[in-house]
Amino acid sequence: MSDRDREQESLGYRIAIGGIRGVLYILVLIALVVLLIFIARKAYTLGYEVFDEEPVDTGEGRAVTVTITDDMSVRQIGMLLRSEGLLTESVEAFQIQELISEYHGDILPGTYTLRTSMTADDMFPILAQEVPDEDDSGSSSASSG
């Protein structure tokens, strides 16, 4: 093989490698854009759930009694409220709402009667036992356990 043939083969090899690198670069960029879009959608949805909360029911709603124990985390409380039909938003949204509320860390163990017409922000003062029993109005009640 002559020197000229080797140079052409080497040039072809460099062009092929450059092309492969270019394709890989484009694929990585596409993957990053897709990942960024996924993260942005997830963040928007979570933000929407946190700041635009809606109750499960309108009007009076139905009364649901839940018991919170002293070993439950905020996540576990959110999972309990969601499983009992008291929350429409995700458990992660509930955790953030508790974190940014004035009742952060103040949820106390006890048995509570909550309504499906309440939002998480309505439930926090009750779960912190700062709302007196209101059995007369049918709104909510809390009792230490």
User: Would residue 58 count as lying in a domain?
Assistant: no
User: Domain check: are 78 and 38 in the same one?
Assistant: no
Q: Output the average pLDDT for the chain.
A: 86
Q: Put residue 138 in one of left, alpha, beta given phi > 0 → left and psi -120 to 50 → alpha.
A: left
User: Domain check: are 92 and 112 in the same one?
Assistant: yes
Give me the count of residues in the chain.
145
| Per-residue pLDDT tens over the stretch 67-103 | 999 999 999 999 999 999 999 899 999 999 999 999 9
pLDDT recorded at residue 139 = 42
Nearest to 49 by CA among 115, 81, 106, 96: 96
User: Domain check: are 89 and 25 in the same one?
Assistant: no
pLDDT recorded at residue 136 = 37
Number of domains in the chain: 2
Q: What are phi and psi of 115, to 5 degrees?
A: -120, 150
User: Would residue 57 count as lying in a domain?
Assistant: no
Instruction: Encode 10-49: b = buried (16+ Cβ within 10 Å), e = exposed.
Output: eeeeeeeeeeeeeeeeeeeeeeeeeeeeeeeeeeeeeeeb
pLDDT recorded at residue 130 = 67
User: Domain check: are 45 and 74 in the same one?
Assistant: no
Does residue 109 contact residue 68 with C-beta atoms inside 8 Å?
yes
Strand residues in 8-47 grouped as ranges (E): none
How much is the average pLDDT of 1-13?
Answer: 75
Domain that holds residue 32: 1-52
* pLDDT band with cut points at 50, 70 and 90 for residue 142: very low
Does residue 127 contact residue 107 with C-beta atoms inside 8 Å?
yes
Cα separation, 20 vs 124, whole angstroms: 57
Cα separation, 42 vs 9, whole angstroms: 49
pLDDT recorded at residue 131 = 60
How much is the average pLDDT of 7-18?
Answer: 81
Instruction: Pick the more confident residue, 112 or 1.
Output: 112
Q: What are phi and psi of 20, to 5 degrees?
A: -65, -45
